[in-house]
């Protein structure tokens, strides 16, 4: 069987994830997708990891940029070891500081930021809350690509010491966009 293209895989994954997810528009919204018995991310099918040249995240603020996997990998200057609340285990993530991306896009601290997943799950909060709570974009897990059916290829994570470590709504997985909330 031939591999799916990244665009086809993303579209199919988004459709499959929609069945188990509810959209959230504020930090007090309904929690992230309900875990299945075998996969808390909703399961699905295997999808090839994005190539270094594939766009995986669009950040739109005062300025906009479509980040390729290669660009995010180059920006990942830190590895964090955290308790992953959906799998209930410690994992290591290579991360890009969300502060870096928000600053490059020109977000003001008081501006509302919307994070949007491939399945259109949205989480909205101020740039200050993401910055002050040390939000990160995870680009790999335990030294390997994060599979799409396990919340990849990129996702938002927080260090254990962050108040948002327990705010599961903010842990937006299969992230596709960060933008100014309307």
pLDDT band at 82 (very low <50, low <70, confident <90, very high): very high
Domain contains 103: yes
Helix (H) or strand (E) holding 99: helix 98-105
Residue 137 predicted with pLDDT over 50: yes
Residue 177 predicted with pLDDT over 80: yes
Give pLDDT, residue 98: 96
Give pLDDT, residue 49: 84
Q: What CATH code is carried by the domain that includes residue 33?
A: 3.90.420.10
pLDDT band at 2 (very low <50, low <70, confident <90, very high): very low
Domain contains 172: yes
Which range among 46-55, 77-86, 112-121, 134-143 shows the weakest confidence by mean pLDDT?
A: 46-55
Bridge pairing between strands 78-84 and 89-97: antiparallel
Bridge pairing between strands 175-180 and 112-117: antiparallel
Give pLDDT, residue 86: 86
Phi/psi at 54 (nearest 5 deg)?
Answer: -80, 130
Sheet containing 64-68: give its strands across.
64-68, 55-60, 175-180, 112-117, 122-126
pLDDT band at 83 (very low <50, low <70, confident <90, very high): very high
Q: Say if CB 24 and CB 37 are below 8 A apart.
A: no
For 8-45, the pLDDT digits (tens) are 444 444 433 333 333 333 443 434 443 444 555 555 55
Phi/psi at 104 (nearest 5 deg)?
Answer: -60, -30
CA dihedral (155, 149, 17, 152) in degrees, to 10, reads: 20
Domain that residue 29 falls in:
6-180
Domain contains 1: no
What is the Cα–Cα distance from 67 to 85, expressed in whole angstroms?
A: 27
Domain contains 153: yes
Show the beta-strand stretches assigned E in 46-174. 55-60, 64-68, 78-84, 89-97, 112-117, 122-126, 135-141, 155-158
- What's the structural domain count of the chain? 1
Nearest to 57 by CA among 182, 181, 172: 172
Predicted TM-score (pTM) of the model is 0.76
DSSP 8-state secondary structure symbol assigned to residue 144: B
């Amino acid at each position: 069987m031939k591999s799916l293209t990244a665009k086809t895989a993303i579209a199919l994954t988004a459709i499959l994830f929609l069945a188990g997810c509810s959209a959230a528009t504020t930090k007090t919204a309904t929690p992230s997708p309900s875990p299945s018995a075998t996969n808390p991310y909703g399961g699905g099918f295997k999808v090839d990891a994005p190539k270094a040249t594939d766009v995986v995240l669009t950040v739109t603020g005062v300025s906009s940029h479509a980040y390729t996997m290669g660009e995010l990998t180059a920006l990942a200057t830190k590895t964090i070891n955290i308790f992953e609340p959906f799998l209930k285990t410690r994992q290591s993530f290579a991360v890009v500081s969300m502060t870096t991306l928000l600053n490059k896009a020109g977000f003001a601290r008081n501006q509302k930021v919307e994070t949007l997943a491939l399945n259109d799950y949205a989480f909205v909060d101020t740039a200050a809350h993401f910055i002050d709570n040390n939000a990160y974009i995870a680009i790999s897990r335990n030294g390997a690509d994060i599979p799409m059916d396990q919340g990849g290829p990129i996702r938002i994570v927080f260090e254990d010491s962050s108040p948002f470590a327990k705010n599961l709504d903010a842990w937006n997985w299969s992230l596709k966009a960060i933008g100014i909330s309307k």
